[in-house]
Structure formats: structure tokens, C-alpha cells
Structure 1
Amino acid sequence: MSQDLYRDITDLAHDTPGWLQLVAELWTEAGLLLFGVLFLAGWWRARPAESRAMALAVLAPLGTAFGYVVSELLKSVVDEERPCRAVAGAAASIVKCPAYGDWSFPSNHSAIAGAAAVALALAWRGIAWLTVPMALLMAFSRVFVGVHYPHDVAAGLVLGALMAVLFVKLLTGPVRALADTMRMSRSALATWLAGPGPAVPVGGAVAGAGRAVNRRRREAMHRRS
């Protein structure tokens, strides 16, 4: 069934205009760069936020990298040949078929896309409307250009998303504590990387100072007595 769908998609790809084929070819790589830009934007956005938000922003690219590593390990175990060599009667792939030994299942591009889409959505509420379509288009483009089966990209998306969620959930607490420590550090680089955190309202600062003064007065009276 996956082979039949692969033939249908690659046949459709060859019937599309040349400019669309070029866009699909470029998108398989350009999408990764755009996710990288969103990681940086998410980190910058989290700098004035509380430490949990900073932890999620930092874990987004790390969780994506974890999804890629798991996908690569699975790929080395499965050893599925690329469809551009294995499917008889299929149209030629739009891009060069990867070398023998660069196996097909699962799709690393799709794993990265799935992990990035979910990790960014966890760190940046409301951005899923952008990251999820990006991931789906990137996965589809891998079949469109002829280098993956449909089941390769479906598995990659699911695997990447699950690994990203697991990674982020397990490490949010420790990274949040690290962000707190960095924000209180005397190192200018550490405080810049972690960001200043949320500003303390003037009223809150005054109230906090007043409580500290009252506490010191009570301590002094206790010592005199």
C-alpha cells in the first residue's frame, strides 16, 4: 500500500510545474532553517519571562536533537532501502537518491520536523498553527521529491513528537532550576543567556523592602529584651 501511494505521489510530482518541484526540493532543507530561527525567537521571547518559560525555550532545540538521535538509531537498526531504488516502475526521484547505506525508515527530516513542531508549541503557546503545518509539509516534501515512503515520514513525525514531549517533560524541572541559578549569578554572560526574568513591580519591591525592615526591627527588639 505504501509503495502504491509512493508511486501516486511521485507521479503527481512529475506532473507539477518545475517551479513547484524546486520549491519542494528547497523546502526539505529550508524548513529546518526556519525552525532554527523560531528556536532563537522563542529563547529571546522567554528572556523576560519566568524561569519555566525559559526552560521550555531552551529544551525545544535540545528535545528536537534528541528526537533526531533516536530516529537515527532506529534507522541503523531497520535498514530499509530507499524507495527511489527499491520501488519498481516508480518515477525517478526529483532529487538525487541518497547513497546506499543511508536508509529510509524512519525519515530523519520528518522526525526533526515533528519534534520541533511539538517542542516549540510547548514553549510558545499559540504557535502550533505555524509549526504543525510546517512539519507536515516538510514530511510530505520528502515523499514528493522521491526519497521516502509515506510510512517513513509518518513514523518520523510521530517518533520525533513523542521523543520531544518525553525529553521536555523529564527535564523541565532541572533546567528551570538552572535558569534560576543563572539569573542570580554574578556572571554577565550567564545572566544575559538566562535573561532578566519578569520585572518586579514597584509596589511589590516597596512592600518587600518594608517587610525586611520590620523583620530587622523585630530581631533587634528581641536581642535587647
Structure 2
Amino acid sequence: MSQDLYRDITDFAHDTPGWLQLVAELWTEAGLLLFGVLFLVGWWRARPAGSRAMALAVLAPLGTAFGYVVSELLKSVVDEERPCRAVAGAAQSIVECPPYGDWSFPSNHSAIAGAAAVALALAWRGIVWLTVPMALLMAFSRVFVGVHYPHDVAAGLVLGALVAVLFVRLLTGPTRALADTMRTSRSAVATWLAGPGPAVPVAGTAPVSGRAANRRRREPMHRRS
């Protein structure tokens, strides 16, 4: 069934305009770069937020990387040949078929996309409307250009998403504690990376950043007067 669907999609791909084929070819890689940009934006917007938000922003790219590692380990065990070599009568792949030994199941691109979409949504819920369609389009593009079966990309999406959720859930607590430590550190690099945190109101004064409030608490009483 997956082979028949693969033939249908690749036949459809060859009937599409050349510009659309080029877009699909570029999107398989450009989507990864766009996810990278979103990771950076997510980290930056979490800098003035609470330590949990910072933890989730930091864990998003790490969980995605871990999803890729799990996908690659599984791929080395399954050893499924690429459909662009294995499916008889299928249209030629739009991009060059990966070399023998670069196995097909699951799709690493799809695992990365699934992990990134879910991890970013956990850290930045308002972005889910963008990340999920991005992941689905990336997965479909891998079949469209002829280098994966449909079941490869479906498994990659699910695997990446599950691994990312587990990774983030298990490590949110320790990473949150690390963010708190970095925000009260005397290292300028550590405090810049972790961000100032949310503004904390101090009685009788204007709200100050979390970092400034922590410093204020460490000062001796005679220096505050």
C-alpha cells in the first residue's frame, strides 16, 4: 500500500510545474533552517519571562536534536532501502537518490520536523499554527521528491514528536533550576544567556528585573539605605 501511494505521489510530482518541484526540493532543507530561526526567537522572547519559560525554550532545540539521534539509531537497525531504488515502475526521484547505506526508515527530516514542531509548541503555544503545517509539509516533501515512502515520514513525525515531549517533560525541572542559578550568577555571560527574568515588584519602588531583585536581596542592609 505504501509503495502504491509512493508511486501516486511521485507521478503527481512529475506532473507539477518545475518551479513547484524546485520549491519542494528547497523546502526539505529550508524548513530546517526556519525551525532554527524559530528556536532563536523562542529563546530571545523567553529571556524576560519566568525560568520555566526559559527552560522550555532551551529544551526545544535540544529535544529536537535528541529526536534526530533516536531516529538515526532506529534507521541503522531497520535498514530499509530507499524507494527511489526499490520501487519498480516508480517515477524517477526529483532529487538524487541517497547512496546505498543511507537507509529510508524512518525519515530523519520528518523526525526533526515533528520534534521541532511539538517542542516549539510546548515553549511557545501561539506558534503551533505555524510549526505543525511546517512539519507536515516537510514530511510530505520528502515523499514528493522521491526519497521516502509515506510510512517513513509518518513514523518520523510521530517518533520525533513523542521523543520531544518525553525529553522536555523529563528535563524541565532540572533546566528550570539551572536557569534560576544562571540568572543569579556573577558571570555576565551566564546572566545574559539566561536573561533577566520577569520584573519583580519591590515595595515602595518601581518594578525591577528578576536579576536585579536577586542582587538586591544579596546586598547588606547598610548598602540599601
Q: Tell me the TM-score normalized by structure 2.
A: 0.91
Contact 2:199 2:210 in 1 (8 A): no
What is the identity percentage for the equivalent residue pairs of Structure 1 and Structure 2? 91
The gaps in structure 2 that reach 5 residues or longer are: none
Shift of 1:6: 0.1
Shift of 1:110: 0.0
The answer on 1:69 being equivalent to 2:89 is: no
Taking structure 1 as reference, are residues 186 and 13 closer, same or farther at Cα in structure 2, changes over 3 Å only?
same
Q: How big is each residue's C-alpha offset from its partner over 1:65-87, in whole Å with a ceiling of 9 and x where there is no partner?
A: 00000000000000000000000
Contact 2:79 2:104 in 1 (8 A): yes
- Alignment correspondent of 2:80: 80
Q: Secondary structure at the match of 1:126?
A: helix
> In structure 1, what is the Cα distance between the partners aligned to 2:194 and 2:216?
32
Shift of 1:9: 0.1
> In structure 2, what is the Cα distance between the partners aligned to 1:213 and 1:49?
14
Shift of 1:41: 0.1
Contact 2:202 2:208 in 1 (8 A): no
Q: Secondary structure at the match of 2:196?
A: coil
Taking structure 1 as reference, are residues 218 and 36 closer, same or farther at Cα in structure 2, changes over 3 Å only?
closer
> In structure 1, what is the Cα distance between the partners aligned to 2:89 and 2:137?
25
- Alignment correspondent of 1:3: 3
Shift of 1:8: 0.1
Taking structure 1 as reference, are residues 222 and 211 closer, same or farther at Cα in structure 2, changes over 3 Å only?
farther
Q: How big is each residue's C-alpha offset from its partner over 1:5-60, in whole Å with a ceiling of 9 and x where there is no partner?
A: 00000000000000000000000000000000000000000000000000000000
Taking structure 1 as reference, are residues 199 and 160 closer, same or farther at Cα in structure 2, changes over 3 Å only?
same
Taking structure 1 as reference, are residues 204 and 9 closer, same or farther at Cα in structure 2, changes over 3 Å only?
farther
- Alignment correspondent of 2:131: 131
Taking structure 1 as reference, are residues 95 and 197 closer, same or farther at Cα in structure 2, changes over 3 Å only?
same
Shift of 1:222: 19
Shift of 1:210: 18
Shift of 1:201: 2.4
Taking structure 1 as reference, are residues 21 and 208 closer, same or farther at Cα in structure 2, changes over 3 Å only?
closer
Taking structure 1 as reference, are residues 111 and 211 closer, same or farther at Cα in structure 2, changes over 3 Å only?
closer
Q: How big is each residue's C-alpha offset from its partner over 1:148-201, in whole Å with a ceiling of 9 and x where there is no partner?
A: 000000000000000000000000000000000000000000000000000112
Q: How big is each residue's C-alpha offset from its partner over 1:98-133, in whole Å with a ceiling of 9 and x where there is no partner?
A: 000000000000000000000000000111100000
Taking structure 1 as reference, are residues 205 and 18 closer, same or farther at Cα in structure 2, changes over 3 Å only?
same
The gaps in structure 1 that reach 5 residues or longer are: none
- Equivalences for residues 37-186 of structure 1 within 5 A: 37-186=37-186
Taking structure 1 as reference, are residues 13 and 192 closer, same or farther at Cα in structure 2, changes over 3 Å only?
same
Taking structure 1 as reference, are residues 204 and 173 closer, same or farther at Cα in structure 2, changes over 3 Å only?
farther
Deviates more, 1:205-214 or 1:106-115: 205-214
Taking structure 1 as reference, are residues 150 and 190 closer, same or farther at Cα in structure 2, changes over 3 Å only?
same
Taking structure 1 as reference, are residues 198 and 8 closer, same or farther at Cα in structure 2, changes over 3 Å only?
same
Shift of 1:212: 16
Taking structure 1 as reference, are residues 204 and 94 closer, same or farther at Cα in structure 2, changes over 3 Å only?
farther
Contact 2:46 2:54 in 1 (8 A): yes
> In structure 2, what is the Cα distance between the partners aligned to 1:137 and 1:163?
20
Taking structure 1 as reference, are residues 222 and 175 closer, same or farther at Cα in structure 2, changes over 3 Å only?
closer
Q: How many residues align?
A: 225
